[in-house]
Structures are given as structure tokens and as C-alpha cells.
Chain A
Amino acid sequence: MELYLTAFQQAISALWAYKGRTLLTMLGIVIGIGTIIVMVSIGQGANQAIQDQINKMGTNLLYAISGSSKKGGVRGGHGSQPSLRLKDIDAIRRLCPSIKEISYQINGAVQSVAENKNWGSPLQGSVPAYASITSWTLQEGEFINDRHLKTVANVAVLGSVVAENLFEPGSSVVGRKIRLKNVPFTVIGTLTSKGRTPDGRDADDVVIIPYTTAVRKIMGRALPGMVHFILVSAHSKELVPRAKWEMEIALRQSHRIPENGDDDFIVGTLDEFADAATESTAIMRLLLIAVASISLVVGGIGIMNIMLVTVTERTREIGVRMAIGAREKDILTQFLVESITMSVVGGILGTVIGIATSRVISEIAGWPTIISPESIVIATFFSGLIGIFFGFYPARKASRLDPIDALHHE
């Protein structure tokens, strides 16, 4: 133990004697570790941001859409045949005790015309539950209610992007008139801004009208009782898998699918979106870490090179140490400690610089970054490993020197 301590002290003084050279040698490790720290912090920040987005969409959510549950492959075309109907909503209401609220909608696109402006956006024929399931609050006015649904009212709720593009910014829009497909509508509310959805669309670019109004007055009667998208919330996060199972059973029953038949719908959870998004950032991160690893290897080779130089320069010293009783192991330890010291100090420097850099990136680019303690521990451990790996050959070379040859080295 004491030998290691002295070896460490000697390593520090030996490295300190050649400060400039030591610093240059450590640079590769500093850059490599710094890059990894930055990449991981950005990646973790992005994941957190995605998670936050998902949570903002509403919690404990499940959805159902038309289509084959067989992913990819031959049944690809099946999804184009819409299979969800209003009767499915009743089935879910009856058969799914884990489900708290149900919303359903029909989707389309529409050109909205205000007094002197117009704007094309997605159109959503929706129900009152939609706002509470997605915990979407209103900037102004109110959301669609049951009376609107029953009376097939010509009322519309605007996403913030649509409102901004149809009316002068800052002005109240509740009570103003717009026309959709030449049908006059009254604006009853605007939604607060939500940003992007997990799949990258702008959630605020939307016009929402009652489901009944959309089906009868805008989409045309060709689609009796058709539903594009069912969004439900489970009573709790733990009940999400159960709710999914219940919903699948309810829909199979409602669609009269035989025991061995394939589903003609897909039930999913919003977590799956999150997983997909996290996966894609993970791949990016892996790529960048691979690049950083190359820098680490280059740094390691730099250390190996300088350690070989050191061993040559100090051959005589090695000879003296051997003459007075240093064993192979002692010499090996001494030079290994030196290379490990160099790489670990480089790793710590890299970590500090990496943390500082990701802070700066957060400030300037506005990306969220997260520094996890694990990444610091792993970075330090990894740099130590590099010191051992690349320091071993020079240290072994030193320990194998012949004492007399070493003593007579010029």
C-alpha cells in the first residue's frame, strides 16, 4: 500500500517535472471524455424533454386506431380500411372498468376563412372529454360541451397557431365568425399553446368542432358513425396495461372478430411514442460516443507513446532502482501508476470541461442537459482503464530491462 502511495507521489513529481508535455499528452483523453460527458448530458436532457412532452399530452393515455395489429409485412394495406365506429365507443364504455374517460374524433383538413384572412389546418371533430383527457386548457373562452354535441352546433375551438393566423394577434377571438367549407361557425374558445407532439406535428395548428357537426356538416354523410381516433385515459398509470387489454377485448367483441382472427384495429399507449423517440436519440448518442471513443483511443496511444519516451529517458534510474532491490513488479507498478495518473487526471479535466460545456450549450442553444453522477463515475473509471491498458506495454518494457544494461544507459 505504501509503495503505491510513494509510487503515486513519484508519479506526480515526475509528471510535474514535464508539465507541458504531460498536459499535451492528456489532451486526447480530455477531449474524448469531455465529448462523452457533453453527449450523454444532451441525450439525457433530450429524453427528459420527451418525457415531459408526453406528460404534457396527458397522463395514463391509450389510443385506438384502425388497422392491422400485425406490424409491417403483408397486411400493410389493411389499415386504410377504417374500422372504428361509434358503437365501439359504447362497447368500451360498457366493458372497460379500468378506463376513466373516453374521447373519440374524426379527422380531416380544412381551410378556415375569417374576415379577410384564411388558413389551412387539420380539422378535428371531437367531444368534450378530449380537453380533460389531454389536460388541454383554454387560453380564452370555453371548450365544446355536450349541448354543442347534441344540437350539432356550429361552434369551433381554435388552436393558438390557427387563431394567430386568422385574427390580429392580441385581439379577443371569442364570438368572432369563421367559415369552414362555406359553413359559418362561431369561435367559442382558443387553446393554450402546447408545442410539438411526440411525433413532431405542431399540436397548436388545429381547428376543433363538435364530432356531430363534423360528421354531418363538414365531412359529408358518406361516413356514418365513423371514428378515426379513440383516446382514453386509465384510472391510474398501473392500470394502463390492463386498460389496453380490456380495450382490445371490447373492440374484438364489438367487431365480432372470431377467436383466431386478426385484430382490425391497433391499441397503443403514449409510452410507446416515448420509447420510439428515446430510441432514436439513443442511436444518435451511440454514434457520437463511438466518435468520442476514437478520440480516447488516440489519447491512449499518446499516453503510451510518452510513457515509452519516459522509460527510455529514465532507463538509468530504472537500473539504479533495480540495483538497490526493486523487483519487476515494483518497476511495473511505478510506471503504471504514472500512466494511470495521467489518464485519470485527463479524465477529470475532461469531465469538468464537459460539464462546463454542456452548461454553456444549455444557455446558448436552450437545449436541456442533464449531468448524471453515473456518467462522471463511468468517465473516470474509463479513463483509468485507458491508463492501465495503454500504460501496460511501456511499464512492462521498463520492468523487463536488464539491470546492467539499464545502469550503463547513457
Chain B
Amino acid sequence: MPSPIIQLEGIRRIFPMGDETVEALKGIDLTIHEKEFVAIMGTSGSGKSTLMHIMGLLDSLSEGRYNLDGEDVSAISRDKRAEIRNQKIGFIFQSFNLLSRSSALENVELPMLYRRPAISGRREKALKALEMVGLENRSDHEPRQLSGGQQQRVAIARALVNEPPIILADEPTGNLDSRTGDDILGLLTSLNEQGITIIIVTHDPDIGGKAKRRIVLRDGNIEQDETN
């Protein structure tokens, strides 16, 4: 039995909105194990992105406990969170979010620049990551010289390069046509087979169907949690 890598207990996230508050997450209990492939689904505004931000340590929780890879990260400093993001989590966004003035290779190198302690052989590692996504011959292209699918592959290479145990993807196929989307999904599936835990937020029932586990959110609560 693989060990749990993400453990959420009674997670609440409350946003102040003027005089009122919005409770985006209303007490989430969730355990995700190593090497799982999880799809998070639900209607718009149900709290999918908020949950993903909390799991990715981009956002802090209002209440509850979060255990990541055996470490309590419920209340840690900004810099500590940056360090954990750098080493344990790869992000993939709907809008790719590559640095527009940097080449594909430089984009992939970026997470290693922020790595402490510093590591050597960054160029080779970046090239290898680009190879894994099939873009080794596009390494000196800037984002605007690449198609949407290629840009998302560069983003995946960037997410991979520090060899994190977890990849979080928020609607990674949202800006792509269905065939390209399938390619990206295939890539993520193969990464999962190599042992990386993948958590993907999606509206697409097809993608949800391909995931081993589906979690459906509704109004900040888990409505359904099923495993194939």
C-alpha cells in the first residue's frame, strides 16, 4: 500500500469580501496517496482552484490541518512554502504561464535557479526534461514561436525538472483543442506511470473518466469521491 502524500483534515478557506465573507472550502477531509492520478471536478465556483492552491502551498488555509509528504505545513512561513513548492510540487496552468522573453530552455531551467542548495548541470537537466516532452529540438524557441500544445509541453517540462513527487494541473487542457488536449493528458498519464502523483482540475468529463480517482466538489464540500 503506497503511503499518503497529501492529508487534509477539516480544511476551511474563508475569503473576506468587503463586510461579508465567502467560504470557498467548508471543511475538506481528503487523503491522496503516492502515485495516484486524481481528477478534481465540480461546477464553476465550487472551490476546485482554491483547493488546488492550498494543496500547492500557494494559498494558506483558514482552518484545519495539512500534512504534505509527512510534514505538517499548516502554518509555515512564506519562504518555507516557496522552498517546498520548488522541490515537491510542479504546477501546470491553463494559460501555460511561460516567461515570454525567455527561450523554452531558459523557462525549463528557471525552477532550478531557485533551488537551494544550488545544483549543477542545469542545462543538461533542462534538455532532458524537454526531451521527455518531445521538444528537444525547440529548446531555443521563445513561447510566441510555439503552438499552444507545445507551450503546455514546455510548462510540463518546467514542472518536471526539479523531479517533484507531485504535479498539480489546473485545467491544463482548457485552452487546447481536444486532440492536443488528449496528447497532454497522455503525457501526464505516462508521467503518472513513472511514479509521479498527478492531481488535475478539470471540467471535462472525458478526462475525469480517464482518471483513476474522481473527486467532485460542490459548494466547498466534497460531494463525491470515487475510484475506478
| A residues in contact (CB < 8 Å) with B | 2-3, 6, 13-14, 17, 316-317, 319-330, 403-404, 407
Contact = CB atoms under 8 A, between A and B. Distances in A.
A404 B58 contact: yes
B93 A325 contact: no
B17 interface: no
A324 B86 CA distance: 5
A320 B101 contact: no
Interface of B: 53, 56, 58-59, 78-79, 82-83, 85-87, 91, 93, 97-99, 101, 110-111, 113-115, 118, 158, 162
24 contacts: A2-B113, A2-B118, A6-B113, A13-B101, A320-B97, A321-B114, A322-B58, A323-B91, A323-B97, A324-B85, A324-B110, A324-B111, A325-B82, A325-B111, A325-B115, A326-B82, A327-B78, A327-B82, A327-B83, A327-B114, A328-B78, A328-B79, A403-B59, A404-B59
Given A3-B113, A330-B114, A324 B158 contact: yes
Contacts of A2: 113, 118
A299 B212 CA distance: 60
Nearest to A329: B79
Nearest to B120: A2
A324 B91 contact: yes
Contacts of B162: 325
Contacts of B85: 323-325
A409 to B, nearest CB: 11
B85 to A, nearest CB: 5
A98 to B, nearest CB: 69
Contact of A403 (B58, B87, B115): B58
B78 A317 contact: no
A322 B110 CA distance: 11
A316 B118 CA distance: 25
Nearest to A7: B113
A329 B113 CA distance: 13
B101 A17 contact: yes
Nearest to B84: A325
B93 A326 contact: no
A265 B220 CA distance: 99
A404 B162 CA distance: 21
A320 B95 CA distance: 11
A99 B90 CA distance: 88
Nearest to B162: A325
Nearest to A400: B78
Kindly list the 9 A-B residue pairs having the minimum CB-CB distance in the complex, ordered from nearest.
A325-B86, A325-B114, A324-B111, A327-B82, A327-B79, A320-B97, A403-B58, A326-B114, A323-B91
Contacts of B53: 404
A6 B56 CA distance: 26
A403 B84 CA distance: 14
A322 B99 CA distance: 13
A325 B97 contact: no
Nearest to B110: A324
A322 B101 CA distance: 17
Most buried by B among A6, A13, A323, A326: A323
A325 B83 contact: yes
Contacts of B97: 316, 319-320, 323, 407
Contacts of B114: 321, 324-327, 330
Contacts of A317: 99
A330 B59 CA distance: 19
Contacts of A323: 56, 58, 85, 91, 97
A13 B115 CA distance: 22
A349 to B, nearest CB: 24
A332 to B, nearest CB: 12
Most buried by B among A322, A324, A326, A404: A324
Nearest to A319: B97
A321 B83 CA distance: 12
Contacts of B110: 321, 324
Most buried by A among B56, B101, B115, B162: B101
A407 B56 CA distance: 13
B192 to A, nearest CB: 20
Contacts of A14: 101
A322 B82 contact: yes
A353 B113 CA distance: 38
Contacts of A320: 97-99
A2 B53 CA distance: 30
